[in-house]
Structures are given as structure tokens and as C-alpha cells.
Amino acid sequence: MSFIKNARRVLQQNIREYGMYIALFVIMAIFTITTDGIFISSRNISNLLNQTGYIAVLAVGMTLVIVIRHIDLSVGFLAGFLGAVAAIAMVFWHWPVYVAIPFVLALGVLAGLITAFLVAQMNIPAFVATLAGWLIYRGAILLVTESTGTIIIPDAAFNAIGNGFIPDIPDIGILPGVHKLTLILGLSGIILFIINEINDRRKKQAYNFEVLPLDIFILKLVLVSALVGGITWVLAGYQGLSWTAVVVLIVVLVYDFITSKTVLGRHIYAIGGNPEAAELSGISVKRITYVVFGSMGMLSALSGILFASRLQSATTTAGTLFELDAIAAAFVGGVSAAGGVGKVMGSLIGALVMLSLTSGMNLMGIGIAPQYLVRGAVLAAAVIFDVATRSRGK
Amino acid sequence: MSIPILEMRNITKEFPGVKALDNVSFQVAEGEIHCLVGENGAGKSTLMKVLSGVYPHGEYTGEILFGGHVQKFAGIRDSEKAGIAIIYQELALVPEMTVYENIFLGHEIRNGFMVDWNETIKRAGEMLKKVRLDVNPAAKVKDLGVGKQQLVEIAKALSRDVKLLILDEPTAALNEDDSENLLNLLRDLKNHGVTCIMISHKLKEVIEIAETVTVLRDGQTICTLDAPKGEVSQNVLIKHMVGREIDNIYPHREHRQPGEVVLAVANWSAYDPALGRNVLSDINFIVRKGEIVGLAGLMGSGRTELALSIFGNPDGYRIKGEISVKGKKRRFTHPQKAIGAGVAYVTEDRKSDGLILIQDVKQNITLANLRAISKRGVVNNNAEVKIANEYKTSLNIKTPSVEQKVGNLSGGNQQKVSLGKWLFVKPDVLILDEPTRGIDVGAKYEIYMIMTRLVEQGMCIIMISSELPEVLGMSDRVYIVSSGKIAGELPIEEATQEKIMHLATN
């Protein structure tokens, strides 16, 4: 009985953190039932992750922007525009892909720094400054694609980013038809996670901090391992891990590390929590604003590359409404509009929730109109849940 | 005692894990000035929130009788309708609106569907006369000083036909003149039949004005004292508030021979482009090793501006002048530089610009010196916990763990976290801006002890304070700031409250 009691207590205390994981699980379970299992099929999950990619990287950057109490509306068309620039560089200027991609990423950083200049130096509200950016980049993308229309990208390496999968190790006779490198990666991920968790628990116990009761701790390890293992198995049954998923994983892991472990991350959350106090603690709010918008610009470029690569072309409408999807993903993932609160991992889950809704409802043959209604309701519900649990926690 | 206008019976209010009020009973007679005192966290504000309906009927147990009837307020609107008005420490005015708009905000004088502005302005003028405030009703509230804003708040309450006026630490942000003015006004209102409840930490004021004093401690009513019967004195109040006698509220300090000059500020001036004049001019002062230097002066005299501009946060002012720290000329373009040179500044308002309330104790303590516990930009969490626990112990911060959110701590403990954060920077010069504002007597004494210990270890402290007894009790030397200038310097042996006030008001 104490196990159930423990479980209930832990769940109540951490309902905010676990809430969205549970929501994602419930949504996936519902769609799996309503689509007779098509939703959870290898092919669909693989597609779902690839579709989430270009929104997820934006949501990661947007998390930091919202944490420091700003917003960036320009990222959608910036992504579209920079995707087009990448296409032009490769198709018309004949740049090799390994030059074009760093060039576009650098352009993204530059664009972000310009936004930061307006916000931090000129004190223009981010909403207004980035709304101007929204118009400008929309104009820019139309301008560069005006004469050519859609630009088809023939570069196979570039297109692999959005459509390709990691190679497999040579066939060794066991598990035919299963992507073995994916399995190995998944398994190593699980092992690393477990070792990390156990170490962390030991350290906390050494300081007499409160840790999860042992049975709940084991339950958590089992659940997360099962989740990662399950996804790995599903993916391995198709073509394995896609390059998009690899890119997103790297971005999320790097940003998660920066935000949770580094001085820079601390400074970002301090500014979000109380900008005046942060400034008087010797943190340059301006400098951090440049860093955060610069990173947002770079991730916009990355999003543009992922999208152009996925379509194997640059189109005049690329990037439309990406910014709102990214903002919605961040809020669903628990980022607070008041600043100072929000995790990168949460925003990834938020993006997965929103994209799962789209994917699942598409599979069910639900029209676009009800889809918007449902997604809007889920966004509102997520924020209501967040606000309600937050005020109770006080 | 005349008929009670208010009677609160056996009020109990619980928060998760804490009994904020435990069977409190509280009676206020009609037409009196009743002071409510107690340490921070004693339950004064909670009791007033129960009374005003912030915590609606049903969230507490017990009974409220107001004007002879049992009241079940569901919200502030209900209590306002019954004639109760509360004025909080944080003023609830709209800064961008005019005085008359603010006074009638929420109960506008209508003429059909439209607001009758002429009548509004006329009535606002009458209200301002009642509170003896001589400002143009059409002035914007943001252009008024804190003292005047407070009076506008009271005018707003009076315009609603208030029977019971509750003031939560009304003089905390006021200088002596404005405070005196406010106390006179309360006496005046009393003569016009308005009953007043005043919450205050300033015991001198309480003694001066109260007819009855109720002392709360740890959520319980300790006693109700009758002033005309001579039951009220500072020692008695302190005894009841803390439950023990404090015979000396300032630690004994030996005024030793001070060491070499650590901080020297010369020909310092700050020009405000918005006002088109200097807010600070020709300021010269020095601070020596092992010294506590008091910066006395009225609110708005430029003390905080001086401290902030020295600290590298000029806030839009154009600065001229020279600073040297330990003999070296310095120019601080950002607080970061000042911290690097060994100067730390503990802000006046810990909630608005001192602490990050949504973060925990350890994160706040290490914030200004994260580099000390990180390698190649990665924070060492174990070192952080260790450091935080050291300060928790040495400053006696009362918190279940260093992972507690600072917003959940009491004022005194928040101030200690703030101090810990700046001590971790290991400064040579520590600037404390109103270090004991809004914290209880016990915590005050602890802060004084910490200050004494620090100067004995060779630090030097600049203490900005509006409380003259504190300035006299703690400083080795006092500079008096008045209208942006140093109006005088007094060694502690010569300093008296009268001399300081004389210089400050010149």
C-alpha cells in the first residue's frame, strides 16, 4: 500500500513536471486506439519525428527568449528566408553543402543579433521589433524567390538531413530487418540515463536532500527506459533513426546542458526571474539578450535548413506560421509567460504533443477546421493547468 | 471602553502546513486609533486580509462582527461596501492617471452613462483638502512623492465613506516629516469619527499615536494594552512582541582606530538629463578599513542614487567624478566592474531588485559570484550546495533547506540571503541600503551582529538608513546627505538625532 501512497504523493508534488509527459502518453494512446495502431506504426512515428524537427528546434530557442521575458515573431519567415538562401547558394552559386550550411547558420546568428540590438540597445519591445522582422523576412523570401518560384535542391547530402536515416552496421546475421545501430544507440542512451540518475541520487543523499522513495525511483527508471526503448524499437523496425532526429537530439541535449549546468544558463534564468536584481548582481542583461537572440537566429537558420531539406526545395511560403507553432509548443511545454521558468526538454515535449495531435487527427481523417479547434483547446488547457498547479504550489 | 465597531472572534486561518492565525480575537472600539504590532510573520497582515475579505468567508474559521452585524465577506468589494478600507504598503494607485481619476477609480461619479468629470474634480478637491494635501487634482500620480501618494490613497478611501481605515505600515517608506504629517492626519480623521487600525514596526510612532495596542505573536493574540492607562512603552511592546526582554537593541561596538582609506569618492556629481539638473553634486567622502559609515538623510535626498552610481549603475544619469578603491583609481561602467573591484551593494528593496524570489536560496546566494564555483563555464552543483549551507549556518538563515524558494521565506531571512549573496563576493566595501527595513526586531539584531562581525574582520560598511536610532547605534561616522550634497559629517561622539535632522533638512 505504501507504494501506491508514495506514487500518489510524488505525482501530486511533481504534477507540473510530469503532467505533459502524461499528456503526451495519453494523446498517443488515444490515437493508437482510434487509428487501429497505425499511429504507433514505425513509419508514422518516424514521420512524426521528422515533422516535429523544424518546429522543435525553434521551440528550443523560443524557450530561452520567453524565459528572458521577450518574444520572437520573426523566426518563421526568417527560417523560410534562410532556407531559400541555402538553396540559392547551392543551386545558383554552386556552393558545396558544407559551405552553404555554416554560411546560413552564420546569417541566422547575424539576424538574431540585429533583433537583439533593437531590443537591448534601442529598448524597442521585442513584440514590435520582431513583428517588423516578420514583415521584412516575409518580403525578403518573396524577393529572392520571385524570379524563380520554387527552387528545387538537387544536392543529395543536403536533402538527406530532412529525409535520410543513419546508416546501419553491417549485417551480422541476428535480427534481420531491424536497424541495429539505432538499437545500439537507444540501448546506450538508456544505460547512460540510468547511471546518471543513480549517481545523481547518491550525491543528493550525501547532502541529505529529499530524494524519491526507492520504489518510485525504480518505477521512474523503468518507465523512462521503457519509453526510450519502445521508441527505439519502433524506429528500428522501419529505417532507423533519421538525421533530423539526430539533429534535434543534439540541439536539445546541448541546450539542456547549457540551461541546467552552466553559468550562462544561470544568468539567463536569473534575468528571467528578476532583471533588475540580475543587473545589480553584475550580470549584463544586454549581453545575455544578444546571446539569446543570436542563438534564436541560429536555430531559425537550422529550422529553415531542415524544412528546405525535407521538401528538397525552397518555396515562397516556407516558414509560414512556424513562429506561432514554436511559441505554442513552448507554452504547452510549461514555459511561463511571466519569465524565468521553463525547460528546453519541456518545449520538445510540447512540440511533440502539438505535432502528435496533427498527425493523429490526419490519420483519423479529421478535417482541418476541427484540428485547429482541438489544438487551440489543448494549448489553452495546458496553460490553465500550468497556472492552476503553479498557484497551488505557492 | 466604548462600543466596539469591530469584533473578530476566534479567527483561525491555516495555510498548507502552517497555522497563520490560531484562535485570534481582536476588538476595536469606535473612533479609536488601534495599533497592531508584532514581528514579521506574527499574523498581522493575514488578520487584516481576513477582515477585508481577501481571504473570503469559509477559508477561515471564526466570526467577524462589524457595526454590530455578523459579516461574511466574499471579497474586497463586500468589505468596502460595509465601510472598511485597507491601504497596503505597496500603493494601489495607477501612476499614469491623474489624482482625481485615481481617487474615484472604481466608483466613478456618473451622469447617466458618462463620467461627470466636473463633479469628480470638485469632489476630489474637497477630499484632498480633508487630507491636507496641496496638489493639483489634475497632476499625474507618478509625479508625486511617496508621501503624497499615500495621502491620495487615504483621500480615495475617504471618498468611499469609510468607517474603518486600515493602514499597513503606512510610514515605512516615508521620511520623518511626511510620517509626522500622516500621524497628524490620522488624529484629525479620528476627530471626524473614522476608526483607524494601523500596523507598524515603528514602535515610537505606535507609542505616539495609539490609544490601544494589540500585540500578536506566532499567530496568537498576546495582549491588548491601553495607552491612556500608561500600559504602553517601548520596552513593554518589545517584550510582548519577542517574548523576551531585549535590553539593548544594538550590539556593543568598540569604536576602534580606523585603518587606511579603502574607498574614496571625489567631486562626484550626477546630471539628470530628464530633469535638466544635477541630482548629486560635489560629493566627497572616504571610508576606512574596519569602519561603519552611516549615510543619513531624508528619503529622496540622493543617498540611493549616490550608492547606485558608485556601484556602476547610473540609471541614465551622466556621472562626473573619481572613485578610488584601495588607492587605485577606478571607473565602473557596470556593476560587474564594481563587484570585481571589491564593492558590493545590497539593495534597498530586496523584493523588487535584490532577490530572485522564484529561485531557491542556493541559487540566490551564488548568483553574483558564479565564477567562483564553476570551471570552464560549468557550475559545480556540489560546491554550490556547500557554500549555500555555510552561509545558511553563519548567517542563521531559517529555512528547511537551501533548496527552498526565497519567496517563501520571511522578510528577515530574505534579507539574510541577500547579505549572504554579497558576502560570497568577498567585498572590501559593503554598501547596505536600508538593511533592516521591514524586518522584525529579532532579525534586526542578528543583522547588526553580522555587521559588527564583518567590520571586525576588516571589511568596511556604508550603511544607508532612514532610522536615526539605527544610524546612531551602529555607525562610527555619519555623513548627512541633503538635496544631493553632503551636508555635513559627524563623528559618532558628536552625533545626535537633532543635529542630524538639522543638517538633513537644511
Report pLDDT for B41.
65
Are B369 and B458 found together in one domain?
no
CA pair distance A39, A76, nearest whole angstrom: 28
Closest partner residue to B379 among A261, A278, A394, by Cβ? A261
Q: Residue A247 corresponds to which cell in the numbers above? A: 539533429
Model ipTM value: 0.86
Contacts of A12 in chain B (CB under 8 A): none
- Average pLDDT value for residue range B43-61: 88
Task: Choose one of B426, B461, B483: the last residue of a domain.
Answer: B426
DSSP state at residue B247: S
Report pLDDT for B59.
86
Q: Is B191 in the A-facing interface, judged by CB distances under 8 Å? A: no
How many Cβ atoms sit within 10 Å of the Cβ of residue A345?
A: 21
Are B463 and B419 found together in one domain?
no
Local mean pLDDT, 10-residue blocks, chain A (394 residues):
75 76 89 92 90 95 97 97 96 95 98 97 96 97 90 93 88 78 92 92 79 85 89 88 94 95 95 94 95 98 96 93 95 90 93 94 93 94 83 51
Number of separate helices (H) and strands (E) present in chain B: 16, 24
CA pair distance A332, A354, nearest whole angstrom: 8
> In what helix (H) or strand (E) does residue B84 lie, and over which residues does it extend?
strand B84-87
Are B70 and B189 found together in one domain?
yes
Report pLDDT for B431.
96
Antiparallel, parallel or unpaired: β B110-111 and B429-433: unpaired
Q: Which amino acid is at A137?
A: Y
Report pLDDT for A21.
83
Are B285 and B416 found together in one domain?
no
Task: Choose one of B384, B403, B426: the last residue of a domain.
Answer: B426
Q: Is residue B506 part of a domain?
A: yes
How many Cβ atoms sit within 10 Å of the Cβ of residue A223?
A: 13
Residue A54 phi/psi, 5-degree rounding, is -75, -20
Using DSSP, state whether B52 is helix, strand or coil.
helix
Report pLDDT for A380.
93
Higher pLDDT, residue A353 or B112: A353
Q: Is residue B25 part of a domain?
A: yes
Contacts of A256 in chain B (CB under 8 A): none
Q: Is residue B284 part of a domain?
A: yes
**pTM for this entry:** 0.80
How many Cβ atoms sit within 10 Å of the Cβ of residue B250?
A: 16
Residue B90 phi/psi, 5-degree rounding, is -80, 120
- pLDDT exceeds 70 at position B506: no
Among B residues 360-419, those touching chain A with beta carbons less than 8 Å apart: 363, 367-368, 370-371, 374, 377-379, 381-382, 385, 401, 403, 407-408
A230 to each of A141, A190, A235, how far by Cα in Å? Answer: 41, 11, 9
Closest partner residue to B353 among A262, A269, A280, by Cβ? A280
Highest mean pLDDT out of A61-70, B201-210, B410-419? A61-70
Contacts of B380-384 with CB under 8 Å at 24 or more apart are B381/A203, B381/A261, B382/A203, B382/A207
Domains of chain A in sequence order: 2-164+242-393 (1.10.3470)
Instruction: Give the number of domains in chain B.
Output: 3
Are B133 and B218 found together in one domain?
yes
Are B207 and B89 found together in one domain?
yes
Task: Choose one of B242, B262, B285: the last residue of a domain.
Answer: B242
Contacts of A335 in chain B (CB under 8 A): none
**DSSP E strands, A136-274:** 151-152
Q: Is residue B194 part of a domain?
A: yes
Q: Is residue B267 part of a domain?
A: yes
Kindly determine whether residue B311 and residue A280, on different chains, have CB atoms separated by under 8 Å. yes
How many Cβ atoms sit within 10 Å of the Cβ of residue B408?
A: 14
Antiparallel, parallel or unpaired: β B292-297 and B477-482: parallel
Are B137 and B169 found together in one domain?
yes
pLDDT digits (tens, 9 = 90+) for B350-366: 888 899 999 999 999 99
What is the distance in angstroms between the Cα of B116 and the nearest Cα belonging to chain A?
A: 36
What is the distance in angstroms between the Cα of B312 and the nearest Cα belonging to chain A?
A: 9
- Average pLDDT value for residue range B212-228: 88
Q: Is residue B348 part of a domain?
A: no
CA pair distance B465, B475, nearest whole angstrom: 10
- State which residue of chain A sits closest to B365, comparing Cα positions: A281
Report pLDDT for A212.
81
Expressed as residue numbers, the domain containing B176 is 4-242
Are B146 and B222 found together in one domain?
yes
- State which residue of chain B sits closest to A204, comparing Cα positions: B382
Kindly determine whether residue A281 and residue B355, on different chains, have CB atoms separated by under 8 Å. no
Higher pLDDT, residue B246 or B371: B371
- Within its chain, how far is the Cα of A385 from the centroid? 21
Are B225 and B320 found together in one domain?
no
**What's chain A's Rg over C-alpha atoms?**
22
Burial class (CB in 10 A: 0-12, 13-18, 19+), B215: buried
Which of B326, B244, B316 lies closest to B279 in space, CA to CA?
A: B316
**What's chain B's Rg over C-alpha atoms?**
24
Are B454 and B392 found together in one domain?
no
Residue B202 phi/psi, 5-degree rounding, is -85, 100
Q: Is residue B350 part of a domain?
A: no
Are B222 and B270 found together in one domain?
no
Q: Is residue B466 part of a domain?
A: yes
- Average pLDDT value for residue range B223-250: 77
Are B196 and B286 found together in one domain?
no
Angle, to 10 degrees, between the axis of helix B146-158 and the axis of helix B117-130?
Answer: 110
Closest partner residue to A209 among B313, B357, B403, by Cβ? B403
Contacts of B423 in chain A (CB under 8 A): none
CA pair distance B225, B220, nearest whole angstrom: 15
Contacts of A340 in chain B (CB under 8 A): 356, 358-359
Residue B263 phi/psi, 5-degree rounding, is -120, 130
- Cα dihedral B216, B219, B222, B228 in deg (nearest 10): 30
Say which residues have a Cβ less than 8 Å from residue A344's Cβ, sequence separation at least 6.
A60, A63, A64, A252, A255, A256, A259
Kindly determine whether residue B345 and residue A280, on different chains, have CB atoms separated by under 8 Å. yes
Reported as a pLDDT band with limits 50, 70 and 90, residue B212 is very high
Report pLDDT for B349.
84
Kindly determine whether residue B356 and residue A340, on different chains, have CB atoms separated by under 8 Å. yes
Q: Residue A39 corresponds to which cell in the numbers above? A: 499511429
Number of separate helices (H) and strands (E) present in chain A: 16, 2
Q: Is A391 in the B-facing interface, judged by CB distances under 8 Å? A: no
Domain with residue B200: its CATH number is 3.40.50.300
Reported as a pLDDT band with limits 50, 70 and 90, residue B496 is confident
